[in-house]
Structure formats: C-alpha cells, structure tokens
Amino acid sequence: MAMTKSIGEQTRRAVLGDAHVDRSIAAKSPFDAPFQDMITASAWEGLWARPNWSLRDRSIVTIALLAALGHDEEVAMHVRATANTGASEDDICEALLHVAIYAGVPAANTAFRIAKQTFAEMKAERGEITS
C-alpha cells in the first residue's frame, strides 16, 4: 500500500521535481532525517504551500534571498526549479538586479553567473541550441 505524501512533500515535489526529491529521500540517513523532516514541514508545507503567493512568486523571492546571502548551491537548485514554478529567465534577471542594488554587486555577479550556467544546462538537457 502506497503511503500518502504530506502536503510538504507534495509541494517540494511540485517545485523541485520528483527526481530531486527521490535522490534526497534516498540519501537521507538517521543522522539528517530529523532535519529533512523539519524542512519538509516548515519550509515546504508551512511556507511554500501557503495560498497567498504563487509558486512563481515564491521562486523569484527565494532566488533573490539565496543570492543575497551567497548560498550559491541553493541558487542553482532553485533556478533549476523555475522549470516547475513558472518563473522566467526575465523574472530571475529582474530579481538579481534587485540583489545588486540592495545586497551588493558581488553577490549579484555570482548569482548571474550561476543562473546563466544553470539555464544553459537546462536548455542543453532539453536539446535546445544556446548561444
């Protein structure tokens, strides 16, 4: 019998994709299981599943915040998630312009590089020609 997925896991899968979540679950150990459970409940159910903003809006804000804080690995993961959230390259460009003004040019410069590379990888995976 299949176990019912929590709202948090459903939301996490909607944003990050089944493959990413399946890899994370497979890598979960007794050591980090409490952390993974907390993130699923607090971030994905308690925040991302709230009805006030769309996944697109949350995606844009999340990328800006991660970029401003220098969480580069997370920036790439959430840029990749834009394929599921509906945030466009233009949306992310605008968000990173805000990062440049309000959090600093170096943070935005790094985030632009990461986003550009991630979008190019995504296009290559879809078989699109990139310039």
Q: pLDDT tens-digit profile of 92-115? A: 999 999 999 999 999 999 999 999
> Would you state the pLDDT for residue 4?
81
Q: Is residue 1's pLDDT more than 60?
A: no
Q: Is the CATH number 1.20.1290.10 carried by domain 54-131?
A: yes
Write b or e for each residue in 13-28: b if 16 or more Cβ atoms lie within 10 A of its Cβ, otherwise e.
bbbbeeebbeeeeeee
Residue 5 and residue 10: Cα distance in Å, rounded?
A: 6
Kindly list the domain boundaries of the chain, sorted by start residue. Answer: 8-52, 54-131
H-type helices in the chain, by residue range? 7-16, 18-27, 33-39, 55-69, 72-85, 89-102, 105-125
Question: What is the chain's Cα-based Rg?
Answer: 16
Q: Is residue 129's pLDDT more than 90?
A: no
Q: pLDDT tens-digit profile of 33-77? A: 999 999 999 999 999 999 999 999 999 999 999 999 999 999 999
**81: Cβ contacts below 8 Å, ≥ 6 apart:** 15, 16, 17, 59
